[in-house]
Structure 1
Amino acid sequence: MTTAQLVSQIKQKKSFLCIGLDVDLDKIPEHLLVLEDPIFEFNRAIIDATHHLCVAYKPNTAFYEAYGIKGWQALKKTIQYLNKNYPEIFTIADAKRGDIGNTSTMYAKAFFTDLAFDSITVAPYMGKDSVEPFLAFKDKHTIMLALTSNKGAFDFQTLTVPKQELYKEVLQVSKSWKNSENLMYVVGATKAEYFKEIRKIVPESFLLVPGVGAQGGNLQDVCKYGLSKNIGLLINSSRGIIYASKEKDFATIAALKAQELQSQMKILLKDFI
């Protein structure tokens, strides 16, 4: 999917909502547990109920890997279901990969070629040759960790090394990498005050923003500093939507929670549409 296609979807749906599909069998409704593939059935119900309210889905691969081969099969069935039934949706493999060149190439093939995701999250700690293999894939996007929403982000990401904070250095240097136009960045919603500085470095890049909802991030604050000329934001919500109910109406309640965010986004987008 191209960036232009993503922007078109945002304007059409009046939404820049991304829904995280982080499936924990201890948290899904009990009536699903008797099914052959409860993870996929949970995902399918959530997707069917919310696809018109969001522009992206983001399965965190750890929640699938934890269940071994059955979890991986559920992930594959989920992405196949999305690509077949809702091909306009932007898909994100939240895998946070990052390794030396040959290994990164294989990770890229796994998620871009075999699973056919539109994008993948990566960790930049090993530098250019660990990220560029992902950037080589046409119409695929690499979403690089920049300033994350967790408390531990302050351990390294905001340290000055030596002229500016590390996260700023990561953003600045990454712009020089081959095919850097395919880069997006992860910036946590709990760091809303940093968005103004981030936009000085990457004014038009898309930012994937976790942390709205359960983690305490504020949508209005993020948009105040983070919206760009081409909108440039994907706001992710996971637990606040998919686990809003453990009853048989879980998908309906999830849609109501998604609609609450979409309604706020519609107002914030009035100057863009």
Structure 2
Amino acid sequence: MNRIDLFKKIQDKKSFLCVGLDTDPSKIPSHLLKTTDPVFEFNKEIIDQTAEFAVAYKPNIAFYEALGPKGWESLQKTLDYIPKEIFTIADAKRGDIGNTSGLYAKAFFETMDFDSITVAPYMGVDSVKPFLEFENKWVILLALTSNEGSADFQLISSQSGKPLFQEVLEKSSKWGNPDNMMYVVGATRGEKIAEVRKIVPEHFFLVPGVGAQGGSLEDVAHFGMNSHCGLLVNSSRGIIYAGNDKDFAKLAGLEAKKLQLEMEKLLSKYL
């Protein structure tokens, strides 16, 4: 899926919602635990109720690989079940020396056929380039994250006097382009989103931190939206764990719809 197709999907659905499938077996409603694959059954019902409002799904790979081979099976079944026109993100945060990154890219782009993968930039260009060699696939590079510890490194000044996250943005934007690279920019740092947007005006941002982590959707749109929207705002816990009984998926759908309606207003306001 290219950038134009993604923007068209946002326009069609009047939404820039990404649903995070961070499926924790300990939080799956008890009636699903009797099925042969509770993780997949949970995801399937969530997808059924939220696909109308979502332009992307983002399974966090840790929740699946922690379960061993069975978890990888659940992940592949989930990926196969997601409607083909919806953008998929492997939230894997990979990044290693070139030949290893090449195999990570092959695993997620060819073997599993995700549209994109989150990548850590710390090892530099040769750890990111292998992911950029796949046509119509995306690297989503960690730039300014929403966790408390992000200040440990991302905000410290480099030799040039710029915060490290700015150096990452300036250098990495030359490795790829707005058609194959996005950036993770946390919603909990509202005013910083504007700084990121100045450096990479055309790129899409994957924005975690709205909802359970306290980020403001209005601030994200105000500081981060560009002429092609340029935003995929993720909500995980706030949607998929909206309920914990047999009506869990219906409640998830209601939460997704609530966010979509807010996004529709913001798209009208800023585009």
1:142 aligns with 2:139: yes
| Conservation of the 8 A alpha-carbon contact between 1:118 and 1:140 | yes
Cross-structure match for 2:61: 61
Q: Normalization by structure 1: what TM-score?
A: 0.97
1:272 offset after TM fit, Å? 6.3
1:155 pairs with one of 136, 143, 152: 152
Cross-structure match for 2:107: 110
1:181 offset after TM fit, Å? 4.0
1:8 aligns with 2:5: no
Residue 33 of structure 1 aligns with an amino acid whose one-letter code is: L
1:162 offset after TM fit, Å? 1.7
Cross-structure match for 1:94: 91
Q: Normalization by structure 2: what TM-score?
A: 0.98
Cross-structure match for 2:78: 78
Distance in 2, Cα, partners of 1:51 & 1:110: 25
| Conservation of the 8 A alpha-carbon contact between 1:17 and 1:54 | yes
Distance in 2, Cα, partners of 1:223 & 1:238: 19
Distance in 2, Cα, partners of 1:178 & 1:77: 31
Cross-structure match for 1:42: 42
What are the equivalent positions in structure 2 for 1:1-273 lying under 5 Å apart?
Answer: 1-82=1-82, 86-163=83-160, 164-177=162-175, 181-271=179-269
Deviations 1:49-91 (A, max 9, x none): 1101010000000000111110010001111111xxx111000
Distance in 1, Cα, partners of 2:93 & 2:230: 21
Runs of 4+ in 1 over 6 A off after TM superposition: none
Q: How many residues align?
A: 270
| Conservation of the 8 A alpha-carbon contact between 2:116 and 2:138 | yes
Instruction: Summarize the Cα distance change of 1:251–1:5 in structure 2 as closer, same or farther, 3 Å threshold.
Output: same
1:180 offset after TM fit, Å? 6.6
* SS of the residue 2:100 aligns to: helix
| Conservation of the 8 A alpha-carbon contact between 2:240 and 2:252 | yes
* SS of the residue 1:189 aligns to: coil
Distance in 2, Cα, partners of 1:194 & 1:45: 36
Distance in 1, Cα, partners of 2:122 & 2:268: 38
Residue 255 of structure 1 aligns with an amino acid whose one-letter code is: G
Deviations 1:246-268 (A, max 9, x none): 11011100000001100000000
Distance in 2, Cα, partners of 1:92 & 1:220: 24
Distance in 1, Cα, partners of 2:186 & 2:142: 9
Distance in 1, Cα, partners of 2:177 & 2:235: 29
Residue 73 of structure 1 aligns with an amino acid whose one-letter code is: E
* SS of the residue 1:152 aligns to: helix
Residue 53 of structure 1 aligns with an amino acid whose one-letter code is: F
| Conservation of the 8 A alpha-carbon contact between 1:174 and 1:180 | no
Residue 175 of structure 2 aligns with an amino acid whose one-letter code is: W
1:177 offset after TM fit, Å? 1.3
* SS of the residue 2:81 aligns to: helix
Consecutive unaligned residues of structure 2, counting only runs of 5 or more, are none
1:231 offset after TM fit, Å? 0.4
Distance in 2, Cα, partners of 1:271 & 1:154: 32
Residue 144 of structure 1 aligns with an amino acid whose one-letter code is: L
Distance in 2, Cα, partners of 1:33 & 1:199: 44
| Conservation of the 8 A alpha-carbon contact between 1:192 and 1:221 | yes
Deviations 1:189-241 (A, max 9, x none): 10111011111100010000001000111100111100011100000000000
1:31 offset after TM fit, Å? 0.6
Residue 13 of structure 1 aligns with an amino acid whose one-letter code is: K
